[in-house]
């Protein structure tokens, strides 16, 4: 034990030795490589890089046409006609056809398959998608058609401004119907039952392995622009092990934990990004006492978010004042960040405010204790929960907080059954639009676990759906956001940090905040 010597200040070697190979460490296992079932972000990364769709996202977070060579819009933007590239081929030599998309998207919408992402065609505005998912219309009625082998016509219910970005997500990837049917149950279970339309293909892999090797797909239409020949994804859940792998030179890109940040802050390979999740407390408004807004506000004001991020987490996370996270959406007219425009003083640390609200709440309710639920999927939650407990008990004299740690599935179960008081939870957007977060607070939404209901909020959300004017829509959503945060029904705490070690000579491999985290096609080594 005496050999554990701290403060070993060796700087990790700066660049990869190898010019065309990188190893990226991921912390989630691969659950499936079937595009519509791939749920964990490692899975969607692999799918997106091997089964390219109509779009990809470039290094500057901009959607770029991928398998589609061009797109024409008509009918007030409600019909989009995509032309599939002539040279788009599957790795088995089959041409990629429009039908591959129709087939794939119908599977995605099929309520029987119940893909976790089956809300996405609806979110993209594709015609009838929501009704199909709800079982009201047959799958065939989905607004996609192949009018020729290379012509894909998509019909929309309404225009969705961020549709291109959405279509870059892995679940919209094409599926070769013939191959799929031949592979049967084995489809995507291992690398010999997969074919690829994207820049990479998978070498010697089966579901359950904790390493995936991607090698350049020679049949890829844009193969000449793919610079890195090999990408290895290693799954290591322990960030310290990952850091050691980085130091050993066996990894080139690893995620760090807050504790490791203090060790690597000065390292030239260190990159401190923010992540795409907002961490917040969700109150169960069905619980007597917790429906009292003053109580919730008192709790919110007693928490010093800055202290959490700088002293406890230390991972570059930032205090959060908005449900919509930073860097996700910009004001279409001013270019200001949505998160900065949503302001309220409820989330500033203020013992005085807290006391004021608490005194008010004490008169209205006799709730003097509640349980704070959190799960064990990240070690930091326990620390944050312990901190909240201490703060609340300090500033709200007479209030007692009980901590309860459960498995994540148990927490979500309690949330969906509303058998909890308050829970520490987080939400990440599936696409870069405020609705990706706000829509779940609509009173009818299944994911509205706090059971918060506000008719004005609902109305604003419905309006925004129908609005094609981006500026106007932005305003509606901002207003809805403010209603939500002023209610303190789900006080945000912080937006998580995403500190990483990345070899300094790797270029153009940003981590995208929403959707698929990595597109390796654009990356290169200098």
Partner 1 sequence: MTNIENNDFEFAHKSETVDHYSGKSYSYGQLVWHRFLRNKGAVISAVVLIIIALIAILAPYLSQYSPTTPYPNQSNLAPGVNGHWFGTDNLGRDIFVRVAAGTSVSLRVALVAMAIDLVIGTSYGLISGYFGGKIDLFMQRITEILSTIPMIIIVTLLVLVMKPGLVSIITAMMIVGWINMSRIVRAQVLELKTSEYVLSAKTMGESDIKIIFSQILPNTLGQIITTFMLSIPNAIFLEAFLAFIGLGVPAPLASLGTMINDGYTQAIVYPYMVIFPVLFLALIMLSFNIIADGLRDAIEGS
Partner 2 sequence: MKKYVLKRILIAVITLFLITLILFIMEKAMPGSPFNDEKMSHAQIAALYHKYGLDGPVPLQFLNYLKNMLSGDFGVSYTVQVNTPVTTMILQHFTISLQIGLQATVLGSVLGFLMGILAAIKKGTIWDNLMTGISVLGISLPNFVVALIVSIIFSYKLMVFPGTYQPTQPFVSSILPTIALSTFTMASIERYVRNDMIDIMNSDYYRLADSKGIKKFQLIGHHVIRNTLISVITVLAPLMIDLIAGSMVIEKAFAIPGLGTLYISAIQANDYNVVLGITFFYAVLFIGIMLIVDILYGLIDPRIRLDEGK
**Is residue 7 at the binding interface for partner 2, with CB under 8 A as the rule?**
no
**Is residue 471 at the binding interface for partner 2, with CB under 8 A as the rule?**
no
3-class secondary structure for 117-180?
A: CCCHHHHCCECCHHHHHCCCCCHHHCCEEEEECCEEEEEECCCCCCHHHHHCCHHHCCCCHHHH
How far CA 47 is from CA of 35, 172, 217, in Å, comes to 6, 10, 13
From candidates 62, 76, 182, 206, binder to partner 2 by CB under 8 A: 206
- 248's contact among partner 1, partner 2, none, with CB below 5 to 8 A by partner kind, is partner 2
The rounded Cα 179 to chain-centroid distance in angstroms is 30
From candidates 312, 367, 453, 511, binder to partner 1 by CB under 8 A: 312
Q: Are 133 and 119 in contact (CB under 8 A)?
A: yes
Best CA proximity match to 518, nearest among 107, 90, 231:
231
Cα separation of 349 and 477, whole Å?
A: 26
The interface mask with partner 2, positions 334-373, x = CB under 8 A, is: ----------------------------------------
Best CA proximity match to 461, nearest among 431, 447, 481:
481
Q: Are 177 and 100 in contact (CB under 8 A)?
A: yes
**152, burial (CB in 10 Å: exposed 0-12, middle 13-18, buried 19+):** buried
**Is residue 18 at the binding interface for partner 2, with CB under 8 A as the rule?**
no
**Is residue 113 at the binding interface for partner 2, with CB under 8 A as the rule?**
yes
**Is residue 139 at the binding interface for partner 2, with CB under 8 A as the rule?**
no
From candidates 403, 440, 453, 483, binder to partner 1 by CB under 8 A: 403
From candidates 229, 263, 356, 451, binder to partner 1 by CB under 8 A: 263
Cα separation of 506 and 503, whole Å?
A: 6
With respect to partner 1, which residue has the nearer C-beta, 7 or 184?
7
Site for partner 2 in 253-312 (CB under 8 A): none
| Ramachandran angles phi, psi of 277, nearest 5° | -115, 140
| Structure token digits, residue 246 | 């980085």
**Is residue 6 at the binding interface for partner 1, with CB under 8 A as the rule?**
yes
With respect to partner 2, which residue has the nearer C-beta, 87 or 405?
405
Best CA proximity match to 172, nearest among 108, 234, 227:
108
Using the rule CB under 8 A, give the single segment among 151-159, 235-243, 391-399, 467-475 that binds partner 2: 235-243
With respect to partner 1, which residue has the nearer C-beta, 177 or 404?
404
**Is residue 188 at the binding interface for partner 1, with CB under 8 A as the rule?**
no
Using the rule CB under 8 A, give the single segment among 322-330, 335-343, 398-406, 449-457 that binds partner 1: 398-406
| Structure token digits, residue 468 | 């094609």
The interface mask with partner 2, positions 48-87, x = CB under 8 A, is: ----------------------------------------
Best CA proximity match to 324, nearest among 465, 463, 483, 472:
483
What DSSP letter does each residue of 198-212 carry, written as one string? SSEEEES-BTT-SEE
From candidates 135, 218, 397, 398, binder to partner 2 by CB under 8 A: 135
Best CA proximity match to 84, nearest among 92, 95, 75, 74:
95
- 118's contact among partner 1, partner 2, none, with CB below 5 to 8 A by partner kind, is partner 2
From candidates 386, 406, 483, 511, binder to partner 2 by CB under 8 A: 406
From candidates 406, 440, 453, 511, binder to partner 1 by CB under 8 A: 406
- 217's contact among partner 2, partner 1, none, with CB below 5 to 8 A by partner kind, is none
CB of 354 to partner 1, least distance (A): 17
The interface mask with partner 1, positions 216-245, x = CB under 8 A, is: ----------------------xxx--xx-
**Is residue 307 at the binding interface for partner 1, with CB under 8 A as the rule?**
yes
**Is residue 404 at the binding interface for partner 1, with CB under 8 A as the rule?**
yes
β-pairing, 400-406 vs 369-375, is parallel
How far CA 258 is from CA of 255, 276, 317, 428, 487, in Å, comes to 10, 16, 9, 19, 31
**Is residue 4 at the binding interface for partner 1, with CB under 8 A as the rule?**
yes
Cα separation of 203 and 393, whole Å?
A: 55
What DSSP letter does each residue of 241-284 carry, written as one string? HHHHHHHHTS-SEEE--HHHHHHHTT-TTEEEEEEEEEEEEEE-
**Residues engaged in binding partner 1 (CB under 8 A):** 1, 4-6, 8, 238-240, 243-244, 257-260, 262-263, 304, 307-308, 310-312, 376, 379, 382-383, 385-387, 389-390, 403-407
**Residues engaged in binding partner 2 (CB under 8 A):** 1, 3-4, 29-32, 34, 37, 39, 111-116, 118-119, 133-135, 185, 189, 206-211, 234-238, 241, 244-245, 247-248, 250, 406-410, 412-416, 425, 427, 430, 446-447, 449
């Amino acid at each position: 034990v005496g050999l554990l010597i701290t403060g070993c200040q060796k700087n990790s070697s700066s660049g990869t030795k190898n010019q065309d190979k990188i190893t990226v460490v991921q912390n989630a296992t691969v659950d499936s490589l079937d595009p519509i079932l791939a749920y964990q972000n490692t899975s969607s990364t692999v799918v997106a890089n091997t089964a390219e769709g109509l779009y990809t996202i470039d290094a500057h977070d901009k959607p770029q046409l991928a398998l589609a060579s061009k797109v024409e819009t008509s009918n007030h933007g409600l019909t989009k006609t995509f032309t599939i590239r002539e040279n788009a081929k599957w790795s088995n030599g089959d041409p990629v056809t429009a039908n591959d998309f129709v087939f794939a998207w119908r599977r995605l919408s099929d309520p029987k398959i119940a893909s976790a992402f089956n809300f996405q065609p609806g979110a993209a505005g594709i015609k009838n998608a929501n009704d199909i998912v709800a079982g009201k219309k047959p799958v065939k009625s989905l607004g996609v058609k192949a009018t020729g082998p290379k012509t894909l016509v998509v019909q929309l219910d309404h225009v969705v401004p961020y549709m291109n970005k959405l279509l870059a997500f892995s679940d919209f990837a094409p599926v070769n119907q013939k191959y799929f049917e031949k592979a049967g149950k084995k489809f995507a279970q291992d690398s010999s039952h997969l074919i690829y339309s994207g820049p990479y293909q998978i070498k010697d892999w089966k579901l359950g392995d904790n390493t995936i090797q991607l090698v350049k797909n020679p049949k890829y239409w844009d193969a000449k622009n793919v610079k890195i020949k090999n990408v290895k994804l290693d799954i290591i859940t322990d960030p310290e092990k990952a850091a050691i792998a980085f130091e050993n030179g066996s990894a080139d890109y690893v995620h760090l934990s807050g504790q490791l940040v203090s060790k690597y802050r000065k390292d030239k390979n260190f990159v401190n990004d923010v992540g795409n999740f907002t961490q917040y407390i969700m109150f169960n408004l069905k619980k007597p006492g917790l429906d009292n807004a003053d109580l919730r506000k008192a709790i919110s004001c007693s928490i010093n978010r800055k202290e959490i991020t700088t002293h406890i987490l230390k991972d570059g996370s930032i205090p959060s004042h908005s449900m919509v996270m930073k860097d996700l959406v910009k004001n279409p007219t001013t270019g200001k960040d949505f998160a900065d425009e949503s302001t309220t003083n409820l989330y500033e640390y203020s013992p005085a405010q807290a006391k004021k609200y608490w005194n008010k709440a004490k008169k209205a309710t006799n709730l003097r204790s509640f349980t704070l639920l959190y799960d064990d999927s990240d070690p930091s939650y326990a620390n944050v929960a312990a901190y909240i407990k201490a703060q609340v008990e300090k500033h709200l004299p007479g209030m007692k907080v009980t901590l309860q740690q459960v498995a994540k599935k148990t927490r979500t179960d309690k949330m969906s059954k509303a058998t909890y008081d308050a829970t520490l939870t987080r939400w990440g957007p599936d696409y870069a639009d405020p609705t990706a977060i706000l829509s779940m607070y609509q009173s009818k939404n299944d994911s509205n676990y706090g059971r918060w209901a506000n008719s004005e909020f609902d109305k604003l959300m419905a309006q925004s759906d129908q609005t094609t004017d981006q500026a106007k829509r932005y305003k509606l959503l901002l207003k809805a956001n403010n209603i939500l945060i002023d209610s303190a029904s789900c006080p945000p705490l912080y937006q998580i940090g995403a500190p990483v070690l990345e070899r300094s000579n790797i270029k153009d491999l940003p981590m995208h905040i929403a959707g698929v985290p990595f597109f390796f096609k654009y990356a290169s080594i200098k």
